[in-house]
Structure formats: C-alpha cells, structure tokens
Amino acid sequence: MEFSEELEILRKAVASLVLKEIAPIAEEMDRTDEFPHWIWKKLGDLGVLGVTIPEEYGGTGLGPVEQAMVTEEISKYSAAIAVSYAAHSNLCAHNLYHNGNEAQREKYLPGLCSGDLIGALGLTEPGSGSDAVGMNTTARHEGDYYILNGSKTFITNGPIADVLIVYAKTDKDKGAHGITAFIVEKGYPGFSVSKRLEKMGNRGSVTGELIFDECRVPVENVLGQVNKGIKVMMGGLDIERVVVSALALGIGEGAFREAVKYAKERSQFGKEIANFQLIQAKIADMYTNLHAARMLTYEAASEAAKGKKVTLQAASAILFTAETATKTALEAVQIHGGYGYMLDYPVNRYLRDAKLYEIGAGTSEVRRLIIAREILGVKTF
C-alpha cells in the first residue's frame, strides 16, 4: 500500500524522530519500566499527539490512516511508547473531540495536542474486562457534581495522566444503557492511583489501578449525554481496533527486522544461517503474514477515513495482526536460537510486547465473536 506524498513526508518525520529519540532508549525503558516524560513534548511538537484533532484545537486535522501510520512507526522500535501514544491520542483526545461539547474541546484538546497534558481512558475494572458493560463503578448526581465510586484497572497512562475519560453506571437498572462517560482531572477530590502495575511487556508505558472514593466530577464534565455512555464507548471501538492493529503490525515488523538482520550475521556450519532453507521458510512466512496484516490494517483505516462503518474490517484486522505479531516474534526468537532467549537481544522484548495485543483492547476470542456476529447480523446490545 502506497502513501500519498504528504503522508510519506509525515511518515519519514516520525521515523526520523523514532530512530533518533526512541530507539536508543527502548531497551533501557524495558529494563527500568520508567516512562520518558520528555518524549511527550517532542511528539507534541511534531504534531502527532493530536493527529486526528482539527487545527483549531491544536491538532493536525488528519485521519485514521495517519494515526495508524504514526502508531506503526513508533511501535517498530518501542511498543511501550506506542501504546501510551495510542491511549493518549486515540482513546482520550480522539474520543473527547468526537463526543465533547465546544467548552470541553477548548479546555482540554490544546494541552493534549501539545503534550502539556497526558490523556488516558478508564474502562476496565478488576471484575469486568471483556464484559465492559458489567462495570461496578457508579456515579450519583448531587447538585453541581457527579460523585464517582469504584475502581479501574489495567489503565494505560493511568498513574501519570492529567485528563481521563472514565465510564460509570449512572442508572444500574438500565444495564448497558445506564452508563455515562465523564472527563476526570487528576486533581479532583476523591481520585487517586492505588498502585502502579508491573507488566511482562510494554514496560515503560505506565499502567495502574485507579480509585474513585466519593470523587467529585463537575456536571459540565459529562462527556456526551447522561446514560448514553455506551454510544461513546462503542463509537470509538472500531477506530481503537484499527490503531491497535497498526501497533501490533509495528511490533511484528520490528521482530521481522531483527530476525532478518540476525540471519544474515549468524554463521553455523561455515555459512550464514540465512542460507538454510528452513530459516528461509520462516522468513518467507513472516513476510507474507505481515504483508497480509498490513493490508487488513490499512484497508480498515482507509474505510474509516471515508466515514464508513468498519466494525467487521477493524475486528478482522486486529485479530489477524495481533496473532501474526506474536507468531512473528516467536519465530524471530527461534531464529536467534539461544541468544533470542537472552535479554541482550531485543527479540524477547518484541515477543513479550506482542502478546498483550491478543488480550488488550478486546481478546482474540471476543474479536472472533464480533466478526461472526457482524456476518450473521446478531446484535450485541
């Protein structure tokens, strides 16, 4: 798939920043699990933190294809930065623009686009993952505020976020149709981070558990309409899957890059292992699957850019691409042999990073259900 001249310029700019600023620290991030705050402003200066946000709010006014491309380029060297970027630019800023009112857009979007603010989304709870609408966090209306009580877990950027979109039940009797989305600031009374979670992969992207204990959120911070949060939630899922598909694609491409490089460098039995047919077969399969994943990802992104419903395409793209990324990383480790199991080589990081995307943003099992239901015409809600 070829990019337009303008998009290719953006891709090269992102790739240049990644090679200069992110690639050199990727291994250190994995070891220390520390988020490099300074990189956020650099991404903001490049104009990619608000890539889908109109220029009047500080963004670049582009679309899903561009956001997928930026995510892919970052994740080729650091899935950790890429997932924090996706949570910020897509789950928070993109959703806030599409569902917020003018006052909310003017208040939050410029800071999110510039990198002065870090965004996140709070949906998953300790007792509700794939069953997101089964959340237990509640919000009751008291005068000029909604009072939130409950907790969220596995929240990317949660411990460092300045602005979060948080879902809560405002009418428990209505089930999925009693959910409301709120814009929560980190300084609100009753909001706290209970702990930072340590992960096997994507280390350096900060993940945490959030607590809402009589958290006071102004009524003007309702995102969308009261009891219409399911619309906000479902409306953003397709684009989220496209972006995450691009993230997984980048991981697979990074693992593939390292595998090809190593195969050309490593000698056994008097010649480079790239000359062995079984290694060549692995390389061929990796390339073919990644190429197919790329087509699926950008087809979904292109259709979304036209304003079309892409539930089927997006679910198919992330299902195939996430599983392809894991398989590719596994083969990259295999090609590296014993060295692939050592922390000195990045392929083990790519493998640990890749596995998340068969779990997060909807498991592979749930994605298969979505695909089947779209084909069969079965409604979820």
CATH, residue 237:
1.20.140.10
- As a whole number, mean pLDDT of residues 231-247 equals 90
Tell me, yes or no, whether 51 and 148 share the same domain: no
CA nearest neighbour of 53 among 220, 44, 228, 297: 44
Q: What is the pLDDT of residue 379?
A: 76
The answer to whether residue 364 is domain-embedded is yes
Q: Are 372 and 319 in contact (CB under 8 A)?
A: no
Query: Of 70, 89, 117, which residue constitutes the final position of a domain?
Result: 117
The answer to whether residue 278 is domain-embedded is yes
Tell me, yes or no, whether 244 and 272 share the same domain: yes
Q: What is the pLDDT of residue 230?
A: 87
Assign 248 a pLDDT band (cuts: 50, 70, 90): very high
The active-site residue out of 66, 72, 240, 258 is: 240
Query: Of 227, 260, 292, which residue constitutes the final position of a domain?
Result: 227
Total count of domains within the chain: 3
Query: Of 84, 117, 150, which residue constitutes the final position of a domain?
Result: 117
The answer to whether residue 9 is domain-embedded is yes
The answer to whether residue 282 is domain-embedded is yes
- As a whole number, mean pLDDT of residues 245-268 equals 96
Tell me, yes or no, whether 111 and 150 share the same domain: no
Tell me, yes or no, whether 184 and 311 share the same domain: no
CA nearest neighbour of 30 among 223, 184, 251: 251
pTM of the model: 0.94
CA nearest neighbour of 239 among 49, 85, 86: 86
Tell me, yes or no, whether 156 and 169 share the same domain: yes
- Give CA–CA dist 273/330, Å, rounded: 17
Mean pLDDT lowest among 130-144, 197-211, 254-268, 338-352: 130-144
Which tokens hold the place of 294?
A: 């790329």
Q: What is the pLDDT of residue 381?
A: 56
Tell me, yes or no, whether 223 and 244 share the same domain: no
The yes-or-no answer on residue 240 being catalytic is yes
Largest CA distance in the chain: 79
The answer to whether residue 175 is domain-embedded is yes
Q: What is the pLDDT of residue 133?
A: 80
The answer to whether residue 51 is domain-embedded is yes
Tell me, yes or no, whether 281 and 178 share the same domain: no
Which tokens hold the place of 64?
A: 């899903």
How is residue 381 annotated by DSSP? -
Tell me, yes or no, whether 244 and 364 share the same domain: yes
Tell me, yes or no, whether 181 and 109 share the same domain: no
- Give CA–CA dist 197/183, Å, rounded: 23
Tell me, yes or no, whether 95 and 131 share the same domain: no
CA nearest neighbour of 215 among 182, 250, 255: 182
Backbone φ and ψ for 161, nearest 5 degrees, come out as -75, 145
The answer to whether residue 381 is domain-embedded is no
Mean pLDDT lowest among 82-96, 128-142, 210-224, 290-304: 128-142
DSSP string, 148-174: EEEEEEEEETGGG-SEEEEEEES-GGG
Alpha-helical (H) ranges within the chain are: 5-17, 26-32, 38-46, 64-75, 79-86, 95-99, 102-114, 229-265, 277-305, 311-336, 347-355, 364-376
Q: Which domain holds residue 290?
A: 230-376
